[in-house]
């Protein structure tokens, strides 16, 4: 019974989050904003939580379930690679090389700069104290 109750709670909370996501999609379509509707929905949701229109406990269980199973929702798109078998045979190695180089570049760049900035700001903060 309690497992059923939890399932019911998760489904109901996902329905709330879906409604907000649809509202975001409706807004971007209605006004032609060049932003994905989901992101607008997310920002709107922060506002709804901040103003207590929606309480945290109304969406928290369903939200953690969605975030915890995020990988599952990417799977159908990833299976789409099946349409590009020829491309993967001819260019797969080069594509992987680009992705490895670029990902390491992004991590080195952001990691080093933010680390320096954080240390300077922390030192500045303790100096003032």
Binding residues for another protein restricted to 38-97, rule: CB under 8 A: 38-39, 41-43, 45-46, 48-50, 56, 59-60, 62-64, 66-67, 70-84, 87, 91, 94-97
Binding residue count for another protein, defined by CB under 8 A: 74
Give the Å distances, CA to CA, from 75 to 70, 71, 92.
9, 7, 19
Q: Would you say 4 or 97 has its CB closer to another protein?
A: 97
Q: Which residues of 74-106 are buried (b: 16+ CB within 10 A; e: fewer)?
A: eeeeeeeeeeeeeeeeeeeeeeeeeeeeeeeee
In angstroms, give the least distance from the CB of 6 to another protein. Answer: 17
Residues 94-113 that bind another protein (CB under 8 A): 94-113
């Amino acid at each position: 019974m309690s497992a059923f109750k939890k399932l019911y709670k998760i489904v109901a909370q996902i329905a709330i989050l879906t409604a907000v996501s649809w509202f975001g999609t409706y807004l971007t379509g209605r006004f032609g904003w060049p932003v994905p509707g989901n992101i607008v929905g997310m920002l709107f949701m922060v506002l709804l939580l901040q103003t207590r229109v929606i309480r945290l406990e109304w969406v928290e269980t369903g939200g953690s379930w969605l975030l915890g199973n995020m990988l599952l929702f990417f799977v159908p798109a990833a299976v789409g690679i099946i349409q590009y078998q020829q491309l993967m045979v001819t260019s797969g190695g080069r594509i992987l090389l680009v992705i490895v180089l670029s990902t390491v570049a992004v991590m080195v760049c952001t990691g080093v700069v933010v680390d320096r900035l954080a240390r300077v700001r922390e030192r500045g903060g303790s100096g003032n104290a």
